[in-house]
Amino acid sequence: MNIRYLLGAAVSIPLLPLMYVHGKRIRTSVPELPEASGKRGRTAPKTTPSLRLITIGESTIAGVGVATHEEGFTGSLAKELAAALGVNIEWSVYAKSGYTVQKMKDRLVPAIREEAVDLIVIGTGGNDAFTLNRPSKWRKEQVVLIESVRTKYPDTPIAFTNMPPIKEFPAFSSLIRFVVGNLVELLGDELEKVVEKSENVYYNQEKLTFEGWTKRYGLPGDIQQFFSDGVHPSKITYQIWAKDFAGFVLNNKSLRAKLEQILIEV
């Protein structure tokens, strides 16, 4: 059993009634935004081959906070990869706001219909942290999720996105940022362990910080610019996140080699 989790639970359990009150206030103050539209797309046509990308996940992958997936994470990631590799990217999104890893495995993976896929990107963590999922249980569920994807696509690379930076969500109280933010980091540690033992599976374990982004990209220092509602990403956040994740994919020698080999075989 994770000692950090046990210590955190010992501190957090007496605070659960107060967290419930804070949560109700947040739900009434944060607007309910729709998911993005347009779950399939293609980058600007070229005469070069195409790579096929699918994304699986929760509200951030579902594009909550922007109007279309072209503006969200998946469309932005496709553009970044297409430009860097000089190819077309055909993409599809399988995501639902509020879904945990268990629901992704049970409801999203069975709905995937593509016959062949070259890269699978999965975004998880937020909802499992919000529901206070245990790290040990989360770890087992991640293993099962990977296995269910592998049943459909035995040789396709799987890449997990960064864990959500819950400690920086401005809509949350300091109490919820502390409890849920620490838990999401523990879940990230467990995902890292799962990925280390999984072949052809990758995880961008870099912790996202908006201070780092403002310095790296020369942006104004207002944290509100990164959020559409204090919880979900804004358009600029989706774009920067996608740019960073594309860098992770392209700078990982093993993962990039697999994508380049696919292009050779097309």
Q: Report which secondary-structure segment, H or E, holds 231.
A: none
Residue 220 pLDDT: 74
- pLDDT tens string for the chain (266 positions)? 466 655 555 555 555 555 544 555 555 655 578 999 999 999 976 667 789 999 999 999 999 999 999 999 999 999 999 999 989 999 999 999 999 999 999 999 999 999 999 999 999 999 998 888 889 999 999 999 999 999 999 999 999 999 999 988 888 888 888 888 888 999 999 999 999 999 999 999 999 888 888 888 888 777 888 888 888 999 999 999 999 999 999 999 999 999 988 887 76
Separation of alpha carbons 134 and 234, rounded Å: 29
| CATH code, 76 | 3.40.50.1110
Cβ atoms 148, 109 nearer than 8 A: yes
User: Which residue type does 5 have?
Assistant: Y
Residue 16 pLDDT: 55
Task: State the total domains in the chain.
Answer: 1
Cβ atoms 104, 56 nearer than 8 A: yes
Whole domain around residue 253: which residue ranges? 3-265
Cβ atoms 255, 159 nearer than 8 A: yes
Residue 9 pLDDT: 56
pTM of the model: 0.90
Own/partner contacts of 11-15, CB < 8 Å, gap of 24 or more, are 12/179, 15/175, 15/179
